[in-house]
């Protein structure tokens, strides 16, 4: 019985709390609306009506401050009736309120996308094991600078890419396509790759091979293909990250190359299965859109569209994983 009484008491408290929260939100909204009308339409409102509405709005505020639910309800009802009777000409319709709220939300989303963060999906396996096909990531657009939305015009320079950064950029040969790779060379760096080993300014980049083979499934071509590779932990400017190299195919080497001013040299972490600066050249600084931050959603390919297959394809362990 004591347990039942405790449960009933908890439910009663919860109902009372919910009722108070609803009344508080309704009261604050009504007071804001009344004062907005008084301010914007003062030239159309008689002084006596304005004084009455103002006094009733103050009464709602006092009731809210005193946390008296019954009094809050009474003052809300009184103010609402007065506003409806005298100021209905200036009240917003429900449709208008929803439209304005949606418009504000859309505007905020567009501003965030233009200047703060943008979502991208990983379409290929060139960044495995760091990023997998089907990973959805957030990219910081203010890490290096701000651009005018829908253009390449820079309006502020906030920082420079560093070796080891994973960046999203416009593909140099087709600006309508976005690529994601890791920065391995900065302006003035001399780079080369010999026997699968990366050299920066004449020094080999430290790396350690993980003894066991690394297996993954490449689904970027639509048909899942099992791959067996060598896993290496590479340290670039003190930042450690994983790379893989296929055990069957030979490493994709390149001769000594100097990165020109205003450009970076990028490579995929899937070193032997990546189209990057070794193939199509350097990335202009102005083409960089931002730096990868986190994986916020991830799922692989599923054999069908059934709910079970969909749930099985979700990689729950990758949610909100930082990108390094």
Q: List, by residue number, the catalytic residues.
A: 126, 181
Per DSSP, the three-state class of 188 is coil
Beta strand pairing call for 166-170 and 225-236: unpaired
Cα three-residue angle 77-82-87, rounded to 5 degrees: 130
Q: Are 27 and 60 in contact (CB under 8 A)?
A: yes
| CA distance linking residue 300 with residue 313, whole number of Å | 5
| CA distance linking residue 210 with residue 129, whole number of Å | 13
Report how far apart, in Å, the C-alpha atoms of 207 and of each of 37, 57, 143, 236 are. 68, 69, 27, 9
Q: Tokens representing 262?
A: 């205003």
| CA distance linking residue 185 with residue 220, whole number of Å | 27
Q: Tokens representing 35?
A: 């004062």
Write 63-69 long-range contacts (CB < 8 A, 24+).
63/27, 64/24, 64/27, 64/28, 67/20, 69/16, 69/19, 69/20, 69/23
Per DSSP, the three-state class of 83 is helix
Q: Tokens representing 78?
A: 């009184």
Element (H, E) at 119: strand 117-121
State the chain's maximal CA–CA distance in angstroms.
89
Beta strand pairing call for 145-147 and 154-157: antiparallel
Residues of 155-165 as b/e, b for ≥16 C-beta within 10 angstroms?
A: eeeeeebbbbb
């Amino acid at each position: 019985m004591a347990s039942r009484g405790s449960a009933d008491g908890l439910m009663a408290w919860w109902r009372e709390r919910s009722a108070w929260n609803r009344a508080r939100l309704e009261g604050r909204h009504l007071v804001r609306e009344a004062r907005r009308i008084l301010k914007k339409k003062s030239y159309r409102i008689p002084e006596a009506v304005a004084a009455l509405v103002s006094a009733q709005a103050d009464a709602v505020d006092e009731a809210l401050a005193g946390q008296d639910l019954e009094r809050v309800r009474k003052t809300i009802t009184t103010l609402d009736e007065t506003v409806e009777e005298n100021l209905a000409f200036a009240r917003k319709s429900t449709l208008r309120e929803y439209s304005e709220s949606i418009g504000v939300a859309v505007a905020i989303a567009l501003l965030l996308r233009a200047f703060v963060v943008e979502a991208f999906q990983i379409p290929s396996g060139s960044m495995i094991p760091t990023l997998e096909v089907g990973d959805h990531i957030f990219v910081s657009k203010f890490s290096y600078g701000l651009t005018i939305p829908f253009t390449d015009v820079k309006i502020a320079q906030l920082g420079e890419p560093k070796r080891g950064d994973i960046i999203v950029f416009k593909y140099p040969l087709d600006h309508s396509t976005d690529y994601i790779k890791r920065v391995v060379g900065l302006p003035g760096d001399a780079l080369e790759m010999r026997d699968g080993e990366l050299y920066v300014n004449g020094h080999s980049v430290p790396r350690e091979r993980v003894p066991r083979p690394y297996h993954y499934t490449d689904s970027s071509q639509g048909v899942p293909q099992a791959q067996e590779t060598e896993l290496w932990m590479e340290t670039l400017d003190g930042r450690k990250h994983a790379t893989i190299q296929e055990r069957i195919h030979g490493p994709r080497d390149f001769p000594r190359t100097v990165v020109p001013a205003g450009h970076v040299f990028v490579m995929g972490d899937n070193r032997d299965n990546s189209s990057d600066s070794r193939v199509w050249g350097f990335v202009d600084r102005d083409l960089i859109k931002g730096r990868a931050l986190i994986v916020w959603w991830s799922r692989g390919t599923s054999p069908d569209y059934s709910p079970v297959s969909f749930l099985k394809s979700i990689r729950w362990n990758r949610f909100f994983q930082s990108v390094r």
